[in-house]
Amino acid sequence: QGTLFVVATPIGHRDDITVRAIETLKRADVVAAEDTRHTRPLLQHYAIDTPLVALHDHNERTAVDGLVTRMLGGESVALVSDAGTPLISDPGFRLVRAARAAGIRVSPIPGACAAIAALSVAGLPSDRFVFEGFLSAKAGARRSRLQELVGETRTVIYYESSHRVLECLEDMREIFGAEREVVLARELTKMFETVLGEPLGTLVERVAADPNQQKGEFVLMAAGHTMDEDARVGEGLRVFAILREDMP
């Protein structure tokens, strides 16, 4: 019986691939890739001539059976996505689940992941954190999800694309408040890598004023809700109560 290797590939810088990942891609009988056009240049760069098959969200249901049959017949499959670790906001879940259900060995070849790379440089508490993936593209759904997370005490990690980063930060400012610290990690490992961390009030202004800060790929990390915020709200209510006494 073959093995399913789940192989991490770079999130930007092409050298961020492990020696083991290269060896595994070379030795596998087939590489199942999210987008073969995207993965081919990476394989070519490392002189890997393993055949490629496509495995993306639209064909995963049908492609899985064929791959499981091949692995049961003794072939090994290396699963990759366009960037970083497969299954992390990327395809592969159905294949991994089906392989495990069929008793096939599934083995990780770990490496880059944008969420972890971003958290490692954010300077936010990282002992406990929550990964939220992408927020909805629809404003209503996005805001109600943020509303549910307003009291989350752990650091929350989001993925975002250039189309919506500003809208998303504006929604966060409205819902989490201008004081909440957010770290924006943009284009990690690439030429325009930027990490900005400050309260939402000033962060939104900085990003809005500079279109370059709205380009590329982003990880947004929101500091968890702290008791200080409760204290501030409490203080606000106290002041309001005093003022109200003087109101006509």
191 or 243: CB nearest ligand SAM: 191
Coil/strand/helix, residue 181? strand
DSSP 102-114: TT-EEEEE----H
- Asked whether position 2 contacts ligand SAM by CB under 6 A, the answer is no
| Tokens 């001539």 -> residue | 49
- Asked whether position 189 contacts ligand SAM by CB under 6 A, the answer is yes
**Which alpha helices (DSSP H) does the chain contain, by range?**
19-27, 36-45, 60-72, 93-101, 114-122, 139-148, 165-176, 200-209, 227-246
Q: Write each residue from 12 to 51 as x if it is in contact with ligand SAM (CB under 6 A), else as -, in one continuous string.
A: x---------------------------------------
- Which of 60, 132, 160, 181 forms a contact with ligand SAM (CB under 6 A)? 160
- Asked whether position 60 contacts ligand SAM by CB under 6 A, the answer is no
In this structure, what are the phi and psi dihedrals at residue 43, rounded to the nearest 5 degrees? -65, -40
- Which of 6, 11, 25, 28 forms a contact with ligand SAM (CB under 6 A)? 11
* Choices 42-50, 142-150, 165-173, 183-191; region in contact with ligand SAM by CB under 6 A: 183-191
In this structure, what are the phi and psi dihedrals at residue 14, rounded to the nearest 5 degrees? -65, -20
- Asked whether position 221 contacts ligand SAM by CB under 6 A, the answer is no
* CB 185, min distance to ligand SAM, A: 6
Output b/e per residue, 140-157; b: 16+ Cβ within 10 A. eebbeebeebeebebbbb
Number of residues that bind ligand SAM (CB under 6 A): 23
103 or 211: CB nearest ligand SAM: 211
Instruction: Report the C-alpha gap between 232 and 230 in whole angstroms.
Output: 5
- Asked whether position 113 contacts ligand SAM by CB under 6 A, the answer is yes
Residues forming contacts to ligand SAM in the complex (CB under 6 A) are 11-12, 81, 83-85, 88-90, 113-115, 159-161, 185, 187-190, 217-219
